[in-house]
Amino acid sequence: MYTKSRFNLVLDEDLDLQVRLKATENRQTISDFVAEALRHYLKNYARIQKQAQKNKEPEIEY
């Protein structure tokens, strides 16, 4: 049973993204955990991509 457990998932070591989910009694399933982890990963990935785009130096043409 996966109740009252703590899950840690390292999604990308380079970005050091981790999702920590605390299961609640009889509500947490593996598919729920994977769906939540993916949602957090995509949200963080989108945020990082936006920040990278803002920080991108303009290209210089010669």
Give the count of domains, the chain: 1
Residue 1 lies in a domain: no
- Find out whether 37 and 43 touch, Cβ atoms under 8 Å: no
- Say what the pLDDT of residue 15 is: 44
**Helices marked H in the chain — which ranges?**
30-55
Residue 60 lies in a domain: no
- Say what the pLDDT of residue 35 is: 82
- Say what the pLDDT of residue 14 is: 44
Residue 61 lies in a domain: no
- Find out whether 37 and 19 touch, Cβ atoms under 8 Å: yes
- Say what the pLDDT of residue 57 is: 66
Domain of residue 10 covers: 6-55
- Say what the pLDDT of residue 27 is: 57
Cα 56 → chain centroid = 23
Model confidence over 8-57: pLDDT tens digits? Answer: 554 544 444 444 455 554 456 777 778 888 888 888 888 888 888 888 76
- Say what the pLDDT of residue 1 is: 41
Strand, coil or helix: 17? strand
Question: 8 is written with which tokens?
Answer: 């840690």
Residue 17 lies in a domain: yes
Residue 22 lies in a domain: yes
